[in-house]
Amino acid sequence: MRTMPAIAVALVIGLPGGWLMTMLLTPLLWRLEPILHVELAGHAGPSDWVFYLVWALVVPALSLLFRFALFKKPR
């Protein structure tokens, strides 16, 4: 019963939050490109797979946080 609201809130907050976080990581990604020899961010912003990776980390983390911290069972 607590899982679905936690997932919904995590998606609503995590998708735009992950996008913003990825955009803020762009200068770091540009510095890592010569070291890793991988296209992380181009002139138009981060690569698509970087967005997907950040969302894949942020949304489940928020979901777990909301599931256990914010939607506690009443005693």
Helices and strands: H and E segment counts in the chain:
3, 2
Residue 26 placed within a domain = yes
What is the total count of domains within the chain? Answer: 1
Q: What is the mean pLDDT of the chain?
A: 87
Range of the domain at 16: 3-70
Q: How confident is the model at residue 21 (pLDDT cuts 50, 70, 90)?
A: very high
Residue 33 placed within a domain = yes
pTM: 0.80
DSSP state, residue 54:
H
pLDDT beyond 90 at 56: yes
Phi, psi (5° rounding) for residue 40?
-100, -40
Task: Give the count of beta carbons closer than 10 Å to the beta carbon of residue 10.
Answer: 21
Q: Determine the pLDDT at residue 24.
A: 93
Residue 75 placed within a domain = no
Residue 29 placed within a domain = yes
